[in-house]
Structure 1
Amino acid sequence: MAQQVKTEKVRYNRMGQRIVSPDYLLFEAPRTKHFITGSEAVKEAAKRASVDASISYPITPQSEAAHMLGELWREGYIGVYFRGESEFGVMSEVAGCAMAGARTITTTSGPGTMRAMEVFPMWAGSRLPIQLVLMARGINSPLSIQPDNLEISFLLDTGCMVWHAETAQELFDMIIAGFVVAEQPDVHVPIITAIDGFFISHTREAVYLPPEDIALPPYNPYKAPMPPIDMEMPPGRFMRDPFVMKSNYISYATHASWQFEVRAAIERSRPYAKHYLRGLVEHFGDPEGEVLFIASGTAAAQAKEATQILIHEEGIKARVLRLKTLRPFPTEEVREAVKGAKYIFIPEFNVVGWLEREVKRALYGYTDIPIFGTPRVGGGMTMPPEFIVQEVLRLIGKEVKHVG
């Protein structure tokens, strides 16, 4: 009797895209080169992510990405799409979509992030795996729309995972991976995928895309740690009134334990993020470099250019540790990377130095290597690699040469 060969049934989503595994979509599917902006990369990622809902509100520089998500709805790739009445409204409305069991994505920038800030801890406390694509911009007064990532610092402690993409290619991959990681039953918290606005959102670069006729498996909300709201499940699971609202010891303990649980869920995302992002960090330059840059996003790209100058023109061994994730923070990777370094530099596109604070907290009591929170620019200023090199040479006592 001939042995029967079992074959897996081919599944399709509502747009007729073939459902494939996350590993196949991210690592194995053939890719073709496209010359697109970061905003277009958001659209292409969402097109392959079996997204159920997206709600948008325009604010520079994320308006274009929001508009393109609307185009996906018109084309049938997104089930529900509309414009909210404000940024606060949008973030509340996507919460409702996620509570009902929808895979949800939205975008924001700058003052829009600030206006919606109250809602992000609610997302986390309700264990909603919403994806927010943050296109960071200036939020200071006088008003600025220029590149600046100060707002990332405000989001780090909302209870959301936070990843920071360096390129449009990485943004595309992170959006797809973000859904997969955020929806893991033992994680199930929001994911903020951040880029530095304009530098990535409005700049074209080569991005390698898998075929558009394949997509992630749809989200299954019934595998979530908390059940979705449907016709048989009331919304009471989110309110927890009156038990938690009372002023007594049980209420305090419940609030505290829940906040610890949300942050523990972020930590549980670590192995998934390490797999789908191919590591929480990236190493670049001379492995024995005495000058170590620790950076994320666009600042890491500039630090890589500066590293090349230091190595090839100044004869100084240098290297870069680029952080892909900020929550969870790659503490062990940072501690391992500083071994052998003599100087640590942390270039940033903001005036407060939020990454410097994070690195110093991770290294407190662990090393006595001098840490320089420089160069640091904000308000839209650029950070040429020559400027980074001059800062390094000045602070380590080397003669400043002409570079350029």
Structure 2
Amino acid sequence: MGTHENPNVPQIGTPNKKGQIITAPEEIFFNSPRTQAFLTGSEVIKEAVKRSSVDFSVAYPITPQSEASSLVGELYADGYVGDYMRGESEFAVMGQCAGAAFGGARVFTTTAGPGTLRAFENFPMWAGARLPIQVVFTVRGVNSPLTIQPDTLEIAFMLETGMLLWHAEDAQDLFDFMMKGYIVAELPEVHLPIGVICDGFFVTHTKDVVSMTPENVALPHYNPYANPTPVMDMETAPIRHMRDPFIMKSNYISYMTHASWQLEVKAAMERSRKMTRKLLNGLIEVENPDAEILLVSSGTAVSQSREAIRLFRDKGVKVGLVKIKTIRPFPKEEIREATKNAKYIFVPEFNVAGWMAREIASVVERNERVIAGPHVAGGMTMPPEVIVEEVERTIARMNKK
């Protein structure tokens, strides 16, 4: 692994071409003064990119991320993003992102729903090639009949791509996760793509108060030489794996090559836990951990769960919350510890599949405690009263049995 620094790239303590001072990440995240702004999630994406020293971004319109892509284009016009272009399709966008990352650029893009599925083949390729690209998934429905409404089903497709996946509850999470995501993804011992997920419309098109870092400071630039594979070296794994004929053959060497590299990608994801815990103040957040009833989920479902807990409190019922921040790596030990005393574990989700409930049931002891639901899908909201009703009805039925 090299440590070469590009003399043409501003270093910490010096200004970039827009006058932003390149600042150590921990100084920005934990010590810089913050000011409040009232922004939509799409505007938050723009503000995070503005402070992230992004070299290259590719855009292709799909609701609900089109506005964010357009705003990143404005950053390019203003000189905050190195290069910006529109791709021919979602699949083309992700291939172009890969080319830029192979060349040593810090890359950003966005997609959603059917766009995610059309681009899908590229995501495990990114992971196998150890490309620390960031993509914001503004998740939406993927089913027919066509819908543009919020739904988290597409996350289920992403779980085993080899990407880091962080799920933002709100616009504040989105802002922080985007900037912190680059720092974790680009660690030499990690060096994997990262998907920062927010729920379409619920976050992208809703205004919220966000605590912003100063706009006159920016993250250090990506150093492509401090990575586990030399930049564009066609004689070195994993790039060589993509072109050598032997790797496509049915023989023991091919099997072992692929198997060992998949295991290395999984190991790199595990190595991300240490820094992620530090930057996100843990992989989960817990309220009332001693409660018999726990609501456990990620994304917007967490916000609805908070309101449901308030309604339960008015009824004199103590209910706890486990907010899951990172889906990959999945916080197995943390969830197991946080739920050890619970009698009921409810998992509200904005999809019909219940993939989060399955994930939780796979790691907790006595997983018969895990109740998948309530579920809403297709763009429906989840009023906190729906959560309360589901919990009360389910517990009454279980007690009756």
Return the TM-score normalized by structure 2: 0.94
1:238 Cα deviation after fit: 5.6
Flag the 1:356–1:231 CA change in 2: closer, same or farther, 3 A: closer
Counterpart in the other structure of 1:63: 66
The answer as to whether partners of 2:232 and 2:239 remain within 8 angstroms in 1 is no
Give the counterpart letter for 1:382 in structure 2: T
Counterpart in the other structure of 1:374: 373
The answer as to whether partners of 2:129 and 2:238 remain within 8 angstroms in 1 is no
Distance in 2 separating the partners of 1:114 and 1:62: 15
Q: More deviation in 126-135 or 333-342? A: 333-342
The answer as to whether partners of 1:229 and 1:235 remain within 8 angstroms in 2 is no
Flag the 1:196–1:20 CA change in 2: closer, same or farther, 3 A: same
1:328 Cα deviation after fit: 0.3
1:25 Cα deviation after fit: 1.0
Counterpart in the other structure of 1:119: 122
Give the counterpart letter for 1:337 in structure 2: A
Give the counterpart letter for 1:376 in structure 2: H
The answer as to whether partners of 1:51 and 1:105 remain within 8 angstroms in 2 is yes
Distance in 1 separating the partners of 2:137 and 2:65: 8
1:310 Cα deviation after fit: 1.1
Counterpart in the other structure of 2:359: 358
1:287 Cα deviation after fit: 3.2
Distance in 1 separating the partners of 2:237 and 2:211: 44
Q: Structure 1: which 5+ runs fail to align?
A: 1-7, 400-404
1:48 to 48, 51, 73: 51
Give the counterpart letter for 1:172 in structure 2: F
| Secondary structure at the counterpart of residue 245 of structure 2 | coil
Distance in 1 separating the partners of 2:81 and 2:60: 16
Give the counterpart letter for 1:324 in structure 2: K
Counterpart in the other structure of 1:268: 271
Q: How does 1:186-335 map to 2 (within 5 A)?
A: 186-229=189-232, 237=240, 239-284=242-287, 286-313=288-315, 315-335=316-336
Q: How does 1:84-103 map to 2 (within 5 A)?
A: 84-103=87-106
1:308 Cα deviation after fit: 1.3
Distance in 2 separating the partners of 1:9 and 1:96: 27
Give the counterpart letter for 1:316 in structure 2: V
Give the counterpart letter for 2:337 in structure 1: E
1:237 Cα deviation after fit: 3.4
The answer as to whether partners of 1:341 and 1:369 remain within 8 angstroms in 2 is no
Q: CA RMSD in A?
A: 1.9
The answer as to whether partners of 2:12 and 2:22 remain within 8 angstroms in 1 is no
Counterpart in the other structure of 2:6: none
Flag the 1:11–1:342 CA change in 2: closer, same or farther, 3 A: same
1:78 Cα deviation after fit: 0.5
The answer as to whether partners of 1:109 and 1:134 remain within 8 angstroms in 2 is yes
Distance in 1 separating the partners of 2:102 and 2:378: 37
Distance in 1 separating the partners of 2:275 and 2:241: 27
1:9 Cα deviation after fit: 7.3
Residues 228-286 of structure 1: CA deviation (Å, up to 9, x unaligned): 128999995362412322221010010011011111111110011101111100112x3
Distance in 2 separating the partners of 1:239 and 1:294: 40
Q: More deviation in 82-91 or 18-27? A: 18-27
1:305 Cα deviation after fit: 0.7
| Secondary structure at the counterpart of residue 349 of structure 2 | coil
Flag the 1:72–1:328 CA change in 2: closer, same or farther, 3 A: same
Give the counterpart letter for 2:293 in structure 1: V
Distance in 2 separating the partners of 1:209 and 1:347: 30
Flag the 1:250–1:102 CA change in 2: closer, same or farther, 3 A: same
Q: Are 1:162 and 2:197 matched, yes or no?
A: no
How many residues of Structure 1 are paired with residues of Structure 2 in the alignment? 388
Identity across matched positions, percent = 56
Return the TM-score normalized by structure 1: 0.93
Q: More deviation in 115-124 or 235-244? A: 235-244
1:387 Cα deviation after fit: 0.8
